[in-house]
Structure 1
Amino acid sequence: MNCDSTTCRIALTYVVPAIGACTSFGMGVAPLFTVRKIHNAKNLGKFNPLPFVLTAANATTWMLYALMVHDYFIYIPQFFTILLGTYYTLRTISYASEEMKSRMIMAWVALAGFIHIGGLLSFVVIPDHVNNGAAVGKTVLGVFSTIVLLSLYASPLSTLYRVVVERNAASIALPLAFTSLVNGALWFVYGLAIMDHFVWVPNGAGAILAVVQLVLRFIFKARPVSDIDSISTSSTAVGSEGRLTPPLEDDQKKPEDMV
């Protein structure tokens, strides 16, 4: 992104990512109240905790990417999000069904292995054995990070489908969807400013997803449901840790939920 004036450069390369880091941290903290409520109730209800595993994994890949490109604006919020995502996962997994526990553990192990391979290739193998290894390693790690992020983006799709089918947007949290739009837009602009497509492309997609949620929220009337059943957060790529959480499918519900 061309920016000739000093003020413009400072705004795009310092102010925008600083605000983005703050909104990212805020979105990471957003599920805390719900997680504590689940812990106190000792019941997940219809809440799906699997995206919390993806949250921690996504933050890990982007923290590694931040180390690769020496960008502390990306690194700082991801560090805290790893802690938060791990905390949310450990707090909720004990209340999940056996099938969901198995899914969460399998996802955790698979993602940990995937991230380990990506980090090993990018930081050790490629720089030592490939010409222009640093640039190639950055590309490989960026691709790995994007793949994990796309897995995170997939989580809202079933919920958005249900919103349309049931014509009920109660599962879309309006403040979080709006924050997702702002957060995604900030990181999108920052990615353009530093000319890093691994930053601006996924955040642009996250901002578009947030717009879709906002449109659906205003089109369909929200019928009230319980706090835990309706909780959702939105995904916005690099700086974001929340996501629209799909409710459990019928075969994952506890007997009391199906009455």
Structure 2
Amino acid sequence: MGVFTEHVVPTFGNILACAMLVSPFPAVLRLRAAGKLGDTNPLPYPMTVVNAAGWVAYGFTIANAYVIPANAVGFLAGVFFTFTAYGCAPKQVQDRIAAIMVAASAHIIMLGLIGCFALSREAAARMWGTSAVVILMIYYFVPLSTMVHIVRTRNAASIYPPLAATAIANGLMWSVYGFAVMDINLWLPNVFGSIIGVVQLLLRLMYGAKPTAAAGNGASALGTGAAAHDEESAAFAKTGVDPSG
């Protein structure tokens, strides 16, 4: 049981998370070819970079090889998505993307300096873990805001059931692993993420998918409508240990 929960589960969690990270590529490539954002909200892309960077740093600090792979993929993919969106965005949106990246870089540099020169290794690990969890929990407000809109409009077209189900499975895997290694930074955000996934599926069952001009093709992979884009980006970021997802 120990081998299964501490090695097999996180291995499959990384595979599942990486598969989710690959899913936005077709939509991003279409965005790159079109040269314009359309109704795509690009801000989750730099947030994905920030989220993944925090979890990679945490993985390095606690020397846990399972936390790093999917988040490293998420970081690299997020950088590509961010640069693609930046090139297609108007100046005002470019400024927002740049602000997020600069602020996040300053945050990571500051934590790195504090961890290296002011804290013990254990305290630094707690600091990086807390930072990663806070960033990830903030990121979860994206699907939460989308769910409020769904209840108001009684239309769940923006929810992509296969993605939500995958996010639930991924979150459960990392929750099991987090409990196995007794790391609250791993199981807490994944339990919360799995609950969000369950709520999304329940909303889809309750309200169904009613075609509209904005959300008519909410089932496409990341980026068809702003709501669908945000939901998939949030699942993408869940990869935060959610390297987990």
After TM superposition, is the score higher than 0.5? yes
Alpha-carbon displacement from aligned partner over 1:158-201 (angstroms, at most 9, x marks no partner): 21111111111111111111110011110011000000011111
Alpha-carbon displacement from aligned partner over 1:61-98 (angstroms, at most 9, x marks no partner): 10111011111111111111111000011111222233
Aligned to 1:250: none
Take 1:49 and 1:56, find their aligned partners in 2: how far apart are those partners? Answer: 12
Take 1:62 and 1:223, find their aligned partners in 2: how far apart are those partners? Answer: 37
CA contact (8 A) 1:27 1:240 kept: no
Instruction: Please tell me whether residue 34 in structure 1 is matched to residue 27 in structure 2.
Output: yes
Q: Which of 1, 4, 20 is the matching residue for 1:11?
A: 4
CA contact (8 A) 2:70 2:244 kept: no
Count of matched residue pairs: 229
Q: Secondary structure at the match of 1:83?
A: helix
Take 2:243 and 2:151, find their aligned partners in 1: how far apart are those partners? Answer: 25
Q: Report percent identity of matched pairs.
A: 31
Aligned to 1:223: 210
Q: Which of 175, 178, 199 is the matching residue for 2:186?
A: 199
The farther-off stretch of 103-112 and 233-242 is: 233-242
Take 1:219 and 1:98, find their aligned partners in 2: how far apart are those partners? Answer: 40
Take 1:54 and 1:240, find their aligned partners in 2: how far apart are those partners? Answer: 15
Q: Secondary structure at the match of 1:199?
A: helix
CA contact (8 A) 2:170 2:244 kept: no
CA contact (8 A) 1:55 1:241 kept: no
Q: Secondary structure at the match of 1:94?
A: helix
Aligned to 2:140: 153
Aligned to 2:59: 66
Aligned to 1:213: 200
1:241 Cα deviation from its structure 2 partner: 8.0
Structure 2 residues without counterparts, runs of 5 or longer: none
Alignment of 1:181-200 (within 5 A): 181-200=168-187
Q: Which has the larger radius of gyration?
A: 1
Aligned to 1:4: none
Instruction: Please tell me whether residue 104 in structure 1 is matched to residue 107 in structure 2.
Output: no
Aligned to 1:257: none
1:99 Cα deviation from its structure 2 partner: 2.3
Aligned to 1:254: none
CA contact (8 A) 2:68 2:243 kept: no
150 and 85 in structure 1: CA distance in 2 versus 1, 3 angstrom threshold:
same
Cα RMSD of the aligned pairs, angstroms, is: 1.6
CA contact (8 A) 1:191 1:200 kept: yes
The farther-off stretch of 96-105 and 187-196 is: 96-105
CA contact (8 A) 2:189 2:242 kept: no
Structure 1 runs of 4+ aligned residues shifted over 6 Å read none
72 and 80 in structure 1: CA distance in 2 versus 1, 3 angstrom threshold:
same
Take 2:167 and 2:9, find their aligned partners in 1: how far apart are those partners? Answer: 15
Q: Which of 137, 159, 162 is the matching residue for 1:172?
A: 159
The farther-off stretch of 223-232 and 112-121 is: 223-232
Name the aligned partner's letter for residue 57 of structure 2.
L
